Amino acid sequence: MQAEIIISGFGGQGTLYAGQVLAYAAMDEGKYVTWIPSYGPEMRGGTANCTVVISDDEIGSPTALHPTAVIAMNLPSLDKYEPMVKPGGYLIVNEDMVNRASTRDDIHVLMVPASKIAQEIGNERAANMVLLGTLEGNMHLLKEGALERALEAHTAARLKKFISMNIEALHRGAEYQAD
């Protein structure tokens, strides 16, 4: 098994953090992993994305020309990465931040009201975890509970107070299933 995932959005949406959580969870499960961040010079509001490759075997390249899955947290990310998703792959979109549907019919598309769900949970910044939960809930890349264990094990002490909220966000996102 090898999966290439691109997570993309504006800086400040937690795209890089979502990728880190996924990468840590995969490492903790004994998988081979690469995590490559990319971001503009702006701290918040610029573009940010990361590529996570998870494999049972050694990884030949940390990049993904045709990713298995894309999490698009905003319209520019949807526009850029939608055409790249491998046929049969997954496109997971924060529908609260886009104004159009996917144009692809050869992939699994999940339009998730991630910002709304995150607000219901108590913090709009948890939208990244909602979408990460949707990814794992559909692709089953890791053993059950791996993302939750990674949050517990790898969250900085000053941020531990957000773990339960992030776990709830993962679970709410996993409720969205592809047809």
Residue 18, in any domain of the structure: yes
Task: Please answer whether residues 32 and 57 qualify as being in contact, where contact means their C-beta atoms are separated by less than 8 angstroms.
Answer: yes
- Min mean pLDDT across 21-30, 55-64, 140-149 is at 55-64
Burial 134-172, CB ≥16 within 10 A → b, else e: bbbbbbebbeeebbbbbbeeebeeeeeebeebbbbbbbb
Range list of H helices, 3-113: 15-28, 75-81
Token pair, residue 38, equals: 């990319």
Domain membership of residue 161 (yes or no) is yes
Sorting pLDDT into bands at 50, 70 and 90, what band is 40?
low
What pLDDT score does 11 carry? 76
130: domain CATH number is 3.40.920.10
131 lies in which domain range? 2-174
Q: How far is CA 2 from CA 57, 60, 95, 173, in A?
A: 8, 11, 27, 23
Q: For 57-63, what is the mean pLDDT?
A: 84
20 vs 178 pLDDT, higher one: 20
Strands 90-94, 2-10: pairing kind: unpaired
Dist CA 120 CA 114 (whole Å): 10
Tell me whether residue 179 is in a domain.
no
How many alpha carbons fall within 13 Å on the CB side of residue 112?
37
Does residue 17 form part of some domain? yes
pTM of the complete model beyond 0.85: yes
The count of structural domains within the chain is 1
Report, as an integer, the average pLDDT of 54-67: 88
Q: Is residue 101 part of a domain?
A: yes
63 occurs within a structural domain: yes
More confident residue, 40 or 156: 156
Residue 44 has pLDDT above 70, yes or no: no
Q: What is the mean pLDDT of residues 36-57?
A: 81
Question: Is 12 a member of any domain?
Answer: yes
In a domain, 144, yes or no: yes
